[in-house]
Amino acid sequence: MKLQKRICLLLALVLVVGLFGFKALAAPKKIQLSLWSGYPEMVPFYNKVAEDYMKANPNVQINILAHPLREHEQKLSAAIPSNTAADIIETSPYVMRKFIDAKYMDPNPRNIEQWMKSGIYDQFYLDEVTINNKFYGVPLFQGRQVLFYNVDMFEEAGLPGPPTTWDELIEYAQKLAKYDANGNLVRAGISLRKSGGGSGVCEKWWFWLYPAGGSIITEVSPGKYRNNYNNEAGRRALQLYIDLLYKYKVDSHKVKADSEGFALGAHAMFTRESWVVGFMKESAPNIRFNAAPLPRDKRAGTICTLVNLYVAKNSKNKDEAWKFIQFMMKPEYQQFLLAKIGWFPCVNADYEPILQEIPQYRAFMELPEGYTLYSYPSLACYDEIQTKLAERLVKAFMDESLVDNPAGIAKVLAEAAAETDAILAENGVLAK
């Protein structure tokens, strides 16, 4: 009897262990996906998409981590070469280019390439992610620059609308600026980007350089470049900054700048991307503002900077990562991205209801006739070029002696251009 009980107990034990073992084998393996972002304001978007994806795919856990942009880029510089990056990386093509050239990133899989060609993207975006006839990354959102202006300040100054030319810009900025009893500027007519970390200062100056007829670099022959600002266009763009700061005194290093200053009413105009619309509604809901295309000079246009999603070479779950990226591009999530976050999506979808609700967005997408889009050159060394040039521009913007000093302005640009060309030469892409 005791033997029979022992046998029964043993059989029961085997059955229990077997059942648990079967359940363990039957349960789907938990897939861990990580995503790194350089735009903290994007976290609500990623969280919404991740939550929906995880509901539809209970065996997937998605973790989102965001850092300020420069910190994020530094993190990528260490993590990608060491194969310790997140499964999905969000960054700009010009940041990723050096990793692609060094073979640290693989091109998109064939099925992803076909999906991207299915009509969800215009050709402009496909061209921007093409390197050596292969796609790298999936465009998520874009940064275009417009001129934001305070409607109440314009009405108070009797101005009919936003400036459309440089001459109007200078005239309007003088009418909009305000001074205290001692002649100190207390409200800027326009806020220029005069300082800040990294390459941003150079990028924002580029938005004035381009209408003047120049650019930071130009492709002289296939794959070979040279600076394109040590010329009349560069001198005109730098002079515009110096004149607005020190000749007309419509901007100052002492006045609160950028989006924060705009929300505080510290200036009447500035240039920025679409996220400002959401920022203003959140931070300064009572301020009436609008957006307009950047003023033209010899030509007109604005930059279109892409931010893409890439699957890291070290990812252990590449297929799942690509599936999540495709899921993210559904129209409803792209509409959420524009309406709630304020960055303009790259995917084709119906955004008209949002444009009707938020009319400031139209300036970004409805370009006037003759108004062109331009973008970052696909060069690994371009960020270094911009960063070094930005350091020189910051010093120049502090130099009041450059007022009515064409020789001084020419000297600043000639020295900067020599450095730009030297960087191109070091990287084997300088045009002879």
Cα–Cα distances (Å) from 141 to 42, 304, 342, 423, 431, in that order, read 10, 10, 10, 29, 32
**pLDDT (average), residues 170-198:** 94
Torsions phi, psi of 324, nearest 5? -65, -40
Q: Kindly state the DSSP code that residue 304 receives in the 8-state scheme.
A: E
- 146-304+371-426, what's its fold? D-Maltodextrin-Binding Protein; domain 2 (3.40.190)
pLDDT at 19: 44
Residue ranges of the domains in the chain? 31-142+306-361, 146-304+371-426
Name the pLDDT band for 380 (thresholds 50, 70, 90).
Answer: confident
Nearest-CA neighbor of 230 among 77, 403, 46, 422?
422
Cα–Cα distances (Å) from 292 to 15, 21, 161, 286, in that order, read 73, 65, 9, 20
pLDDT at 59: 96
Torsions phi, psi of 273, nearest 5? -95, 180
**Average pLDDT along the chain:** 92
As a residue count, the chain comes to 432
Spell 239-277 as b/e; 16+ CB within 10 A means b: bbbbbbbbebbbbbeebbbbbebbbeebbbbbbbbbbbb
Q: Highest mean pLDDT range out of 365-369, 374-378, 404-408?
A: 404-408
CA–CA distance, 211 with 300 (Å, rounded to integer): 5
Cα–Cα distances (Å) from 403 to 229, 337, 397, 406, in that order, read 19, 44, 11, 8
User: In terms of CATH, what superfamily is 31-142+306-361?
Assistant: Periplasmic binding protein-like II (3.40.190.10)
Q: Which residue has the tokens 């050596």?
A: 132
9 pLDDT exceeds 60?
A: no
23 pLDDT exceeds 50?
A: no
CA dihedral sign, ordered 111, 112, 115, 117: negative
11 pLDDT exceeds 60?
A: no
Fold: same for 31-142+306-361 and 146-304+371-426: yes
Spell 157-166 as b/e; 16+ CB within 10 A means b: bebeebbbeb
**pLDDT (average), residues 286-308:** 95
Render pLDDT for 117-160 as a digit per residue (tens, 0 to 9): 999 999 999 999 999 999 999 999 998 999 999 999 999 999 99
The structure tokens listed for 245 are 């700061």
Nearest-CA neighbor of 163 among 240, 260, 257, 275?
240
Q: Are 37 and 65 in contact (CB under 8 A)?
A: yes
Name the pLDDT band for 5 (thresholds 50, 70, 90).
Answer: low
Q: Highest mean pLDDT range out of 19-28, 94-103, 123-132, 409-418?
A: 409-418
Name the pLDDT band for 6 (thresholds 50, 70, 90).
Answer: low
Contacts of 383 (CB under 8 A, 6+ apart): 94, 95, 199
Render pLDDT for 239-267 as a digit per residue (tens, 0 to 9): 999 999 999 999 999 999 999 999 999 99
83 pLDDT exceeds 70?
A: yes
Render pLDDT for 193-237 as a digit per residue (tens, 0 to 9): 999 867 889 999 999 999 999 999 999 998 899 999 999 999 999
**pLDDT (average), residues 4-9:** 54
367 pLDDT exceeds 90?
A: no
26 pLDDT exceeds 70?
A: no
